[in-house]
Structure 1
Amino acid sequence: MTSNHSPAVATGTADFTDAARVAGLLDRYLIALDDEELDDAWARSLFTDEAVVAFPMSRHEGLAGLAEYHHASIAAFAQTQHLGSPAVVSVEGDRAVFRANVLTTHVHHPGGDRPPLFRAGTLASGEAHRTPAGWRMSELSFRIVFTEGEPPKPA
């Protein structure tokens, strides 16, 4: 996974436009998680066919099944909110790397013995590539910085 991201000096309008499009991929990803609009069209609009999405507790490789993977993860909670900082994006030709801070709040389903909320501060990083359909993420990973509360219990 991509781990070291530093901003590039933009040399023209195209660089800024490409960086904004790449940053928008992460924004759209986070919003869709909270809106639970996770289907194959969503996955194709954000990821390459061979994409890798890695969380500290699990990972998924490939576009096939990616929407279902996310839907199953989100279903563990009654509600979620994902807040992302502006992404720092470095574009070099048809490849870009990015990094952003993400603060997540997960509301547990009612009942049970856990506190109602589980929060996590994470660093999101990844790589995107220009494809015939536009920019798509090929790698997206999250590294936990802190947690508060209890995560869901394993099934």
Structure 2
Amino acid sequence: MTTQTQPAETSHAEIRTLIHQLFRTLDERKFAAAWILDFVTEDVRMETPLGATEGPDAARATEEALARYDRTQHMAAGILTDVDTEAGRAIASWNALMTHVHHDATLRERGADADPLFTVGGHYEADLRRTPAGWRFSRVAIRAIWTKGQPPLGIND
């Protein structure tokens, strides 16, 4: 049996696209049923400053985290990938700027001088596997380097 592998450059481009599509989906909040499987493997491990989740809980935890904000904007830059096309595995890392807009209720509770934004600068680290549907994240870790503003109510209050 012959195994056909993709050229590494094609894989790099697909992984970069996957990252940008994930960020766009998070910001647009277009969460159809099983939306997360467009991006992750069924056994994914997600590590965030709020904790770690695995498998099916990853979608719920992601949606709950985003619901703490009125809107978000995630931007990726400096995407680096290391692809092993023979094994169908890759690692990726990228810088991220994540801007979160608080709900009006949060701002009212915090008072007239409350900052409407909570901004996080950091980086992502990810492991990926090639699946029949394309590259998917099997592990994603978000590492905050700095923050500006206050997190949502209930976090570090």
- TM range, smaller chain: 0.7 to 0.9
Task: Quote the sequence identity (%).
Answer: 30
Q: Highest CA radius of gyration, 1 or 2?
A: 2
* Alpha-carbon contact 1:52-1:59 (below 8 Å) kept: yes
2:109 paired with 1:112:
yes
* Alpha-carbon contact 2:45-2:58 (below 8 Å) kept: no
Q: How does 1:62-101 map to 2 (within 5 A)?
A: 62=55, 64-93=56-85, 94-101=88-95
Shift of 1:31: 0.8
Shift of 1:34: 0.5
State how many pairs are aligned: 142
CA RMSD of superposed structures (Å): 1.5
Structure 1 gap segments, 5+ residues each:
1-12
* Alpha-carbon contact 2:130-2:136 (below 8 Å) kept: yes
2:133 paired with 1:125:
no
For the residues of structure 1 that align with 2:33 and 2:25, how far apart are their CA atoms? 12
Residue number in structure 2 paired with 1:34 = 27
TM-score normalised by structure 2 residue count: 0.84
Shift of 1:68: 2.1
For the residues of structure 1 that align with 2:48 and 2:60, how far apart are their CA atoms? 15
Q: Which amino acid aligns with 2:57?
A: G
TM-score normalised by structure 1 residue count: 0.85
Q: Which runs of 4+ in 1 moved over 3 A?
A: none
2:148 paired with 1:152:
no
